[in-house]
Amino acid sequence: MVALSFKQTAVNADQRLTLSGACAATLPEGHSHDVILFGGYHEAPDKQRTCTNAAWIYSAKTGAWEPVQYTSAAVPQPRLVSQAVVINNKLWLIGGWDSSISGPDAFLGDVWTLDLETWAWQRQQLAGNGVLQGISRHQAAAVGQHIYIHTHRTTDHILRLDTSASPPVLEQLPVTGSAPSSRGLHSMVHVNGQLYVLFGAPQKGPMLDDVYRLDLASLTWEDLTGQLSGRKPHPRCSAGVAAVGDKVLVVGGAFYGASGGLEMLQDAYVLDTSSSSWLVPDMAAEQGSSSGGGVASGGMPSARNAAVMVPMRAGAAGGQPQLLLAGGWRAFVETYNDTYLVTLS
């Protein structure tokens, strides 16, 4: 049995944090803050939405977000549905969609690093046999000094970026086994030398509810969908998904309803990779959490998709695994600027 509790933090956050489709990563040990968030679709009070290239850092000590002041002249252009990971003392930003541009140029194939001490950006020129075309709605996961990148194009290979090389080397690695079908807005996490790909939206048709695992030693895919015990989650895309230890937490997301429109999910599941099972956690609000924002009955954040969810550093909750969930979108209704500490026990 597992349990989740949600505690709203960063109450009355800056209106600029009303974001969906941002990307976020856990900051390294020794940093003054715990989580960094970049970009996303900002919704103004008049409901106009624009993408941004701002970054914010969150501190568990203060319970607040602070804007990052960049120190370099060159900065990434605004974007949403991009990917960011932290390796050593750098944030690596990969691709995304600039909604202010029409046509194929709106989809970005660039890679940038942000120095987490000086706050200076640098665009990276890549070597290797891999090609990073304009991409968005993709996934990336850091494993040691490597970043694995999964896009809708990688049904017969996976991209691996070696950040230890100078310049960084992007490789196209052939894969075997039963690979995930083409999709975007899916989720990918790293657990004990394995990459897990969950859910997503194909170019046509309903959302997906499948789970795949890539063994990084053999580069072999395995379809786990029919092997997992427990109650299977509803199909979805744009869910909040993060790994803590051998467990993968899934919160919310969206699917196509009977009318064909997007419907939001207000639920949570835990994939226990050690027992190959889906668990439905007990959920409760922590006492003292503030109302407002998107709090719904039962203490869980209201139904939404395109939120960010990342693990906090170890020890932040007295030894219990804790994650940060922020923002998100109730399709064509509201974008949120709320933030929650999520404790898994």
Helices of type H across 177-234: none
Query: Position of tokens 């959920």?
Result: 283
Query: Would you say 51 and 40 are in contact if contact means Cβ atoms under 8 Å apart?
Result: yes
Quote the CA–CA distance of 315 and 34 in Å, as a whole number. 12
pLDDT of residue 293: 43
Q: What is the pLDDT of residue 51?
A: 97
* 3-state SS, residue 15: helix
Three-class secondary structure of residue 299 per DSSP = helix
Query: Per residue of the chain (345 residues), what is the pLDDT tens digit?
Result: 899 999 999 988 899 999 999 999 999 999 999 999 999 999 999 999 999 999 999 999 999 999 999 999 999 999 999 999 999 999 999 999 999 999 999 999 999 999 999 999 999 999 998 889 999 999 999 999 999 999 998 999 999 999 999 999 999 999 999 999 999 999 999 999 999 999 999 999 999 999 999 999 999 999 999 999 999 999 999 999 999 999 999 999 999 998 889 999 999 999 999 999 999 998 764 433 333 344 444 478 999 999 999 999 875 545 688 999 999 999 999 999 999 999 998
Closest CA to 88 of 113, 112, 70, 60: 113
In which residue are the tokens 């991409």 written?
Answer: 135
pTM of full prediction above 0.85: yes
Give which of 344, 343, 340, 337 is closest to 12, Cα–Cα: 337
Domain ranges of the chain: 3-289+304-344
- The amino acid present at 225, given as its one-letter code, is T
CA angle, residues 276, 280, 283, in degrees to nearest 5: 140
Side-by-side strand order, sheet with 23-26 = 23-26, 35-38, 55-59, 64-67
Q: What is the C-alpha separation between 140 and 197, in angstroms, rounded?
A: 10
CATH assignment of 3-289+304-344, among 2.40.40.20, 1.10.8.60, 2.120.10.80, 2.40.30.110 = 2.120.10.80
Would you state the pLDDT for residue 291? 34
For 142-178, give the DSSP string: EETTEEEEE-TT-SSEEEEEETTSSS-EEEEEE-EES
How far the first Cα of the chain sits from its last, in Å, is 9
Please state, in angstroms and as integers, the Cα–Cα distance from residue 303 to each residue in 102, 180, 222, 277, 294, following that order.
30, 27, 31, 24, 8
